[in-house]
Structure 1
Amino acid sequence: MPPPLPRVRAPAAVRLRGALWRWRVVVAAVCLGAAAAATVQALRPPPPRTVPVLVLAADATAGTPLTTSDVTVARVPPDAVPAGALTAPDDAVGAAPVVDLPARQPLTPTLLGGGTPTGPAGTVVAAVRLDDPAVAALLAPGAHVDLVAARPEGGPGETVARRALVLPAPPSDGAGGGLLGGASGAPDVPVLVAVAPDEAVRLAEASASARLVAVVVP
């Protein structure tokens, strides 16, 4: 038998063309996948613009001062940010919500009470002395009350303010002087409420000649 012929190695170009031919389906699939991914990336809209805003990290109770762990900075779409929203924790720490607030609620100055009591936008703060001081002591910040003026001589009462918002009392400095001249800790300390401006006028008029009664409403 004659000896076998020596094996001749094909040129590199020929070997490459052969490999591409054998793997032509896989190569085509990879190329199509890369093209599709590039197209999707090019057509994908840019991420929506967001702005930083201070929100509650957990539910907050009216009248309880906020701490650094109660607030956090989140990024939200600009159209979801209320006017005057706070952006730094120092703007809210130490202030107390005037109403119960849920977690993730953006914070604004009208929702918080500090040294100077404030109510929601469009309201004013009025100090009222109720006929029964024991009832005044039971009213928690965040409650809504109807204020009724009852005449000492009898007759039907008149509702002078509806759904007035009970606000947290400002912290006492221990000096013995309260709002409207009342002594700190005295039984007739007034209750702070946020009411409409015209209701504040009716409250002032009724306080001079009637007994004010609070009726808690939803």
Structure 2
Amino acid sequence: MALLTPPSAPGSPPPLPHVRGPARVRARSALWRFRFLLAAVCLGAAAAATVQALRPPGAATVPVVVLAHDVGAGAVLAAGDLVVADVPADAAPGGAFRSPDDAQGHVAAVDLPARLPLAPTLLADTALAGPAGTVVVAVRLDDPAVADLLEPGLHLDLVAARLEGGPGETVARRALVRPAPGARAPQGGLLGAAPTDDGSPVLVAVTPEEAVRIAQASVGARLVAVVVP
């Protein structure tokens, strides 16, 4: 079957060929079709830039030594207990340690929580540490001269004698005498120390429970030291 097309009318021009418009015209047409999407993108970018410009600058931080985990009073700090962390400058205590080597080997003077920035005021020298599970307390004995006769390393039973009389009470057993900071070198005398009358307290390592009993007894009793093996 042949498909017949009507002949062109006499004198009519031939049909125009399909020609694509210029690139600029096509680009304008595309922008017009997507004008709402482009407007939304531009508004989002402007809002993000505004928020970034208005955001306050981050707080200044400083690197300090903090505890990697909780540490109990009397614990000697080791390398595994210490890490360096950036903390806000206004949260760092005065004189905070900057290197783990500065705090390593010192003793926690009190119970210290994890992530706490360390400063010298929170620590004590190893001379003030006692055996594991003990705390160091200062004891003022009834006889001031006895305190100067006691060498570090001796063991004492501490007896509380009530002022009103009655039987005494042993408040600590085998308390370990610790060296006092700045103690004078022995100058002779009984047990290697020269007696004085200044009534210096004695540092002893005792259990936490004994420390409580010593504190209670020191209010209304006289403390007497008995040297034991």
Q: Same fold (TM over 0.5)?
A: yes
Cα RMSD for the two superposed structures? 4.2
Secondary structure at the counterpart of residue 85 of structure 2: strand
Asked whether the equivalents of residues 129 and 191 of structure 1 are also in contact (C-alpha less than 8 Å), the reply is no
Tell me: CA distance 1:92–1:169, structure 2 relative to 1, closer, same or farther (3 Å).
Answer: farther
Asked whether the equivalents of residues 51 and 77 of structure 1 are also in contact (C-alpha less than 8 Å), the reply is yes
> Equivalent residues in 2 for 1:53-132 (5 A)?
53-117=64-128, 126=138, 128=140
Could you say which residue in structure 1 is the equivalent of 2:40?
Answer: 29
Tell me: CA distance 1:66–1:58, structure 2 relative to 1, closer, same or farther (3 Å).
Answer: same
CA drift at 1:86: 1.3
Q: Which runs of 4+ in 1 moved over 4 A?
A: 125-130
Asked whether the equivalents of residues 65 and 84 of structure 2 are also in contact (C-alpha less than 8 Å), the reply is yes
Q: How far apart are the structure 2 equivalents of 1:34 and 1:190?
A: 69
Tell me: CA distance 1:117–1:6, structure 2 relative to 1, closer, same or farther (3 Å).
Answer: same
TM-score (norm 2): 0.55
Larger radius of gyration: 2
CA drift at 1:23: 0.6
Secondary structure at the counterpart of residue 63 of structure 2: strand
Asked whether the equivalents of residues 152 and 211 of structure 1 are also in contact (C-alpha less than 8 Å), the reply is no
CA drift at 1:63: 2.0
Secondary structure at the counterpart of residue 52 of structure 1: strand
Could you say which residue in structure 2 is the equivalent of 1:17?
Answer: 28
Q: How far apart are the structure 1 equivalents of 2:15 and 2:111?
A: 95
CA drift at 1:37: 1.0
Q: How far apart are the structure 1 equivalents of 2:115 and 2:178?
A: 25
CA drift at 1:80: 1.5
Tell me: CA distance 1:99–1:51, structure 2 relative to 1, closer, same or farther (3 Å).
Answer: same
The structure 1 residue matched to 2:56, chosen from 40, 45, 50, is 45
| Number of residue-to-residue matches in the alignment | 160
- Percent identical: 56
Secondary structure at the counterpart of residue 51 of structure 1: strand
Secondary structure at the counterpart of residue 76 of structure 2: coil
Determine if the alignment matches structure 1 residue 211 to structure 2 residue 223: yes
Q: How far apart are the structure 1 equivalents of 2:89 and 2:75?
A: 29
TM-score (norm 1): 0.58
CA drift at 1:110: 2.2
Q: How far apart are the structure 2 equivalents of 1:190 and 1:117?
A: 8
> Equivalent residues in 2 for 1:146-157 (5 A)?
150=161, 154=165
Tell me: CA distance 1:51–1:212, structure 2 relative to 1, closer, same or farther (3 Å).
Answer: farther
Tell me: CA distance 1:17–1:127, structure 2 relative to 1, closer, same or farther (3 Å).
Answer: same
Counterpart of 1:84, as a letter, is G
Counterpart of 2:25, as a letter, is V
Q: Which runs of 5+ in 2 are unaligned?
A: 9-13, 130-136, 143-154, 169-176, 180-185, 193-201, 207-217
Q: Which runs of 5+ in 1 are unaligned?
A: 119-124, 137-147, 158-167, 171-176, 184-188, 194-205, 214-218
Asked whether the equivalents of residues 75 and 107 of structure 2 are also in contact (C-alpha less than 8 Å), the reply is yes
